[in-house]
Amino acid sequence: MNKHVKILTNGIIKENPLLVLNIGLCSSLGITTSIFNGLGMGMGMTFVLVMSELVISLFRKHIPSAIRLPVFIIIIAAFTTIVQMVLQAYVTSLYDALGVFLPLIVVNCIIMGRVEAFASKNNPGDAVLDAIGMGLGYTLVLVCISLIRELFGGGTLFAGTALKITVIPEGYRLGVLNSAPGGFIVFGLLGALMQAIRQKKEASK
């Protein structure tokens, strides 16, 4: 497989940050009650991840090792602030829905892990591909969890937008999916499915 394709797809399947590496779980359980929230969080995280990895990779040879972590945090915080300001100005409903999880992007294990393990050791092109792959993997899982929880727990699709539709009548909804335990249940099922797929793939080799 081409090196660049491998880097890009690594975060989607082989090292998916949520289902395989099990990092950055707080947001996946806290805001995934609607597709709108999951997609918005995923896009915000991906933007911060891409820009942070790019900048850190560009200046990796000029950042003293002794202060690299504070420098990483400052860079990540700068791009997180940009996301916050844009959402607050133009997408207020999403800004309010994400709440405290938006500023917590700064200390998200996914971003800190990738800038330390990958961006600080590789060229800018590879760093951007890694960030896009990790961001896509994160976003896809958030949207999947959100879809299940919103559809079966809330009985709607696209809540929080003008496209909102009611699919399941109130009496037939699984209300537990709207709670924190419901988030754990859905996440656990998706994690088990991912492990089953990986084991089957390994067995076939």
pLDDT tens-digit profile of 69-97? 999 999 999 999 999 999 999 999 999 98
State the Cα torsion 178-182-188-190 to the nearest 10°.
-30
pLDDT at 38: 92
The H-assigned helical ranges of 1-123 are 3-10, 25-30, 35-58, 68-90, 92-98, 109-114
Region for residue 40 given its phi and psi (left: phi exceeds 0; alpha: psi -120 to 50; beta: otherwise): alpha
Please give the Cα distance from 54 to 179 (Å, whole number): 37
Q: Is the pLDDT of residue 1 over 60?
A: no
| 184 token code pair | 């754990």
Whole-model pTM? 0.91
Q: pLDDT at position 62, please?
A: 92
Rounded to whole angstroms, the Cα distance separating 137 from 18 reads 8
Highest mean pLDDT among 9-18, 146-155, 196-205: 146-155
List, for residues 118-127, the tens digit of each pLDDT value: 999 999 999 9
pLDDT at 108: 86
Say which range, 11-15, 40-44, 133-137, 149-153, has the weakest mean pLDDT: 11-15
pLDDT value of position 26: 80
Confidence of residue 180 (pLDDT cuts 50, 70, 90): confident
